[in-house]
C-alpha cells in the first residue's frame, strides 16, 4: 500500500460560479437587469419590492423570484401587485444557489426589464453564492441596529448597494444611519447607500433611479 499526496486546488464554489455565469450571460443577452436582495429575515425585502413595483408601474416590467424556507406568502404578495412571481421553497436550506435560479429561468417571460431575486432571509450564507445577478443589494433595517455591517462583513463586502430600510422607525429606535453607512463603507468603499421607508415611499425614487441607470448601462453594453 502506498500513500501519496495530490495537489488539487479546486474551488468548492466552482460549480455554482459556472451556473451563475451562464445565468448572467443569458439575462444580459435578453437585456434583463438581475438584482439579488440579501438581508436578515424581516428587514423589509418584500415590502421594498412592493414599493418598487408601484414606482416602476407603467415604466418597466418586473418579475420576482422568491426564496423562502417554506410558504408561497411572499410570491402571493408580489403577484397582488400585478408582478409575475415564482416561489422557490428551499425546505430548510438557508440560501439560494445558482442552479435553483436556473431551473426557474425558463418560465420567466422574455419581455421583462428587471428580474429581482429575493434571497432567503439570512445575512450570512447567501453572501457566498453568486446567482448570476448584475447587482446585489443588502438591506439593513433600523430595528436591527447600526452595528451589523462589522458583525456580518461578508454580506456587505459582496454587495453593490446598501439599502437602509424602515427609516419611518428612526424616531423610535437607537439607529444611527451615519454609523451604519460608515461601518459598511469601511468594508466596501464603493457601496452606494440609500435610506428608504418602503411603507411611506420615502427614498424609493432614488433607489429606482439607481436601478434604472444600471439597466440603461446594461442595455448600452457598458455593464
Partner 1 sequence: MHELSLVASVFEVLEEKAREHGAVRVTAVVLQVGIMSGAVPDLLESAFEMFKKGTIAETARLEIVVVPVKVRCPDCGGEAVREDTDFSCAGCGSRRVEIVEGRELVVQRIELET
Contacting positions for partner 1 (CB under 8 A) = 1-13, 15, 93-95, 97, 124-125, 127-129, 149-150, 153-154, 157, 183, 185-189
SS3 84: coil
Cα separation of 214 and 222, whole Å?
Answer: 9
Q: In this structure, what DSSP letter does residue 92 have?
A: T
Closest CB 129 distance from partner 1, rounded Å: 8
Q: Starting from the edge strand earliest in sequence, which strands make up the sheet with 161-165, in order?
A: 85-89, 62-68, 114-118, 33-38, 135-141, 161-165, 192-195
What is the nearest approach in angstroms of partner 1 to the Cβ of residue 98?
A: 12
Q: How far is the CB of 198 from partner 1 (least distance, A)?
A: 27
Residue 128 C-beta: closest distance to partner 1, Å:
4
CB-nearer residue toward partner 1: 89 or 154: 154
DSSP three-state, residue 101: helix
Residue 216 has which C-alpha cell?
A: 440603461
Q: What number of residues does the chain have?
A: 223
In angstroms, the CA 122 to CA 119 distance is 8
- Judged by beta carbon, residue 171 or residue 178, the one nearer partner 1 is 178
Complex with partner 1: residue 143 or 153, whichever CB lies closer: 153
Measured from the CB atom, the residue of 93 and 199 that comes closer to partner 1 is 93
Amino acid at each position: 500500500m502506498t500513500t501519496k499526496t495530490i495537489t488539487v486546488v479546486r474551488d468548492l464554489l466552482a460549480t455554482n460560479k459556472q451556473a451563475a455565469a451562464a445565468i448572467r450571460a443569458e439575462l444580459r443577452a435578453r437585456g434583463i437587469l438581475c438584482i439579488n436582495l440579501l438581508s436578515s429575515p424581516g428587514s423589509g425585502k418584500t415590502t421594498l419590492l412592493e414599493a418598487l413595483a408601484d414606482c416602476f408601474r407603467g415604466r418597466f416590467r418586473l418579475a420576482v423570484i422568491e426564496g423562502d424556507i417554506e410558504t408561497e406568502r411572499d410570491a402571493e404578495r408580489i403577484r397582488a401587485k400585478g408582478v409575475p412571481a415564482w416561489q422557490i421553497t428551499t425546505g430548510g436550506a438557508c440560501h439560494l444557489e445558482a442552479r435553483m435560479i436556473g431551473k426557474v429561468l425558463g418560465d420567466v417571460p422574455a419581455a421583462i426589464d428587471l428580474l429581482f431575486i429575493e434571497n432567503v432571509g439570512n445575512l450570512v450564507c447567501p453572501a457566498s453564492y453568486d446567482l448570476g445577478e448584475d447587482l446585489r443589494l443588502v438591506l439593513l433595517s433600523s430595528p436591527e441596529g447600526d452595528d451589523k455591517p462589522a458583525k456580518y462583513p461578508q454580506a456587505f463586502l459582496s454587495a453593490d448597494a446598501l439599502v437602509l430600510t424602515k427609516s419611518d422607525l428612526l424616531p423610535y429606535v437607537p439607529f444611527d444611519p451615519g454609523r451604519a453607512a460608515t461601518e459598511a463603507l469601511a468594508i466596501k468603499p464603493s457601496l452606494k447607500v440609500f435610506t428608504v421607508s418602503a411603507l411611506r415611499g420615502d427614498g424609493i425614487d432614488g433607489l429606482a433611479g439607481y436601478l434604472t441607470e444600471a439597466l440603461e448601462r446594461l442595455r448600452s453594453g457598458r455593464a
